[in-house]
Amino acid sequence: MKELTCIVCPRGCRLTIDDDLNVTGNSCPRGAKYAVDEMTNPKRMITSIVRVKNRENCVVSVKTSVSVPKGLIFKVMEEIEKVSVNAPTHIGDVVIKDVLGTGSDIVITKEIE
């Protein structure tokens, strides 16, 4: 049996999940899905930065478009470290499409003129 705090919404339900993936403590179905996913295939959003080539000492923030498997976090970070962009940048610009075949794009989260 494992205890989790749901992070799907601000309620922060205290969840309990057993070895058969039965969930208690959730106030909505999303909490139950979160607990099962966390036990069977945990995923995380990644945030980072990439260099801006045509600006001195400048970086731009990026994130994954959807959560990626927790076990791939360091490999995704290695891919992010390999790239750089040119300004101007726009929120939502794709820096890496389908990083490592995860279905997640690395997208820019800041405007740089």
Local confidence band at 75 (pLDDT 50, 70, 90 cut-offs)? very high
Q: What pLDDT score does 70 carry?
A: 95
Local confidence band at 76 (pLDDT 50, 70, 90 cut-offs)? very high
Read off the pLDDT of each residue in 18-47 and give the average, rounded to a whole number.
Answer: 95
CATH number of 44-108: 3.10.530.10
Q: What pLDDT score does 46 carry?
A: 98
Q: Name the residue ranges covered by the structural domains of the chain.
A: 2-40, 44-108
**CA-angle at 107, arms to 72 and 52, nearest 5°:** 105
CB < 8 Å & 24+ apart, contacts of 6-11: 6/30, 6/31, 6/34, 6/35, 7/34, 8/34
How many Cβ atoms are within 10 Å of 71's Cβ, its own excluded? 10
